Amino acid sequence: MKKSILSLLISFLVLFSSFGQNNPMGRTWVVFVGNTNYLTLSTLMGAQKDINLVKDALSAYQIDKVIIKQDLKKDEMAQFFSSELPALLKENSVSSLMIWYSGHGKFINETGYWIPVDAQRDDETTYYKMEDLKGAFEGLVPRLKHVLVITDACESGPTFFQAMRSIPTQPVCDDPAGAKKKSYQLFSASGYDLATEESLFASTISKALADNPKPCIPVQDIVKTVTLQLMRNHLDRPQFGNITGMESEGGTFFFYKK
């Protein structure tokens, strides 16, 4: 009798521990890169604050691991995205990945760059080309079913993705098809204003996540909220679209609550 009760209790605990953790997005990781202390460019003290805001908002959602990288030099950025991160994603069977970048950026001749902290001013050979980031993802398809790159950087500009011309339609949380279909998306602060110490882009994203009353929120809903807020403040419309060259199936990135 005691053995039966003990077995029942163990089964209950196992069930309880897994309750609410059945994430349709699969194992989900978030990577934050915050570049603050530049050698030849202005210091961006707001970058770490912005990351903390979004990280705190995401704590209510089913995120299996958060990685934070700070003040990356070019060789560190290249090594992390081309080697270290892909190996970790493969080893841990990660299905969904969000990458957030806060720092300086540049858009030159239709090419977008993230600027490492050791970059030389006006020398694009010392910048990190965002096309290299896409190359790191391509080797992980089809295991990596969802990628969302969010870049909050001055002069980041549109790069390696097909922008949508209007605010996208919001998918619904109770339709599992959106999570099952592959998606490779980029959401970027529009690009040509100087970076400020406080990012309205980041604070609006964190508020959209924190204020969401539903069991999940699709990135399209966040894009809509951010777009309206930035335009209300007479700022440029952010860019959102599918990453070109990757076989998206019309899915999207959902954030599911715990």
The tens digit of pLDDT for each residue in 208-229 reads: 999 999 999 999 999 999 999 9
Structural domains in the chain (count) = 1
pLDDT confidence of residue 196 = 54
Residue 158 lies in a domain: yes
Q: What pLDDT is attached to residue 44?
A: 86
Tens of pLDDT, residues 156-210: 555 555 554 455 556 777 776 678 889 999 999 865 444 456 789 999 999 999 9
pLDDT < 50 positions in the chain? 2, 6, 8-20, 164-165, 192-195
Show Cβ contacts of residue 159 under 8 Å, excluding neighbours closer than 6 positions: 107, 110, 111, 112, 130, 131
**Residue 9 forms part of a structural domain:** no
Residue 111 pLDDT: 82
Contact between 245 and 134 under an 8 Å Cβ cutoff? The reply is yes
- Residue pair 248/160 in contact by the 8 Å Cβ criterion: no
Cis ω for the linkage preceding 171 (within 30 of 0): no
- Positive or negative CA dihedral for 203, 208, 213, 215? negative
In a domain, 134, yes or no: yes
Give pLDDT, residue 189: 87
pLDDT at 10: 43
Q: 77: domain range?
A: 24-256
Task: Check residue 145 and give its pLDDT.
Answer: 92
Question: What phi and psi, each to the nearest 5 degrees, are found at residue 97?
Answer: -135, 130
The pLDDT assigned to 235 comes to 83
14 part of a folded domain: no
Using the structure block, give the residue that is written with the tokens 């980031």. Answer: 133
CATH number at residue 149: 3.40.50.1460
What pLDDT shows up at residue 13? 41
CB within 8 A of 144, min separation 6: which ones?
Answer: 89, 94, 95, 96, 97, 137
- Which among 15, 149, 31, 150 is positioned nearest to 94, based on CA atoms? 31
Q: With respect to residue 181, please indicate whether it lies within any of the assigned structural domains.
A: yes
Residue 168 lies in a domain: yes
Distance CA 38, CA 120 (A): 9
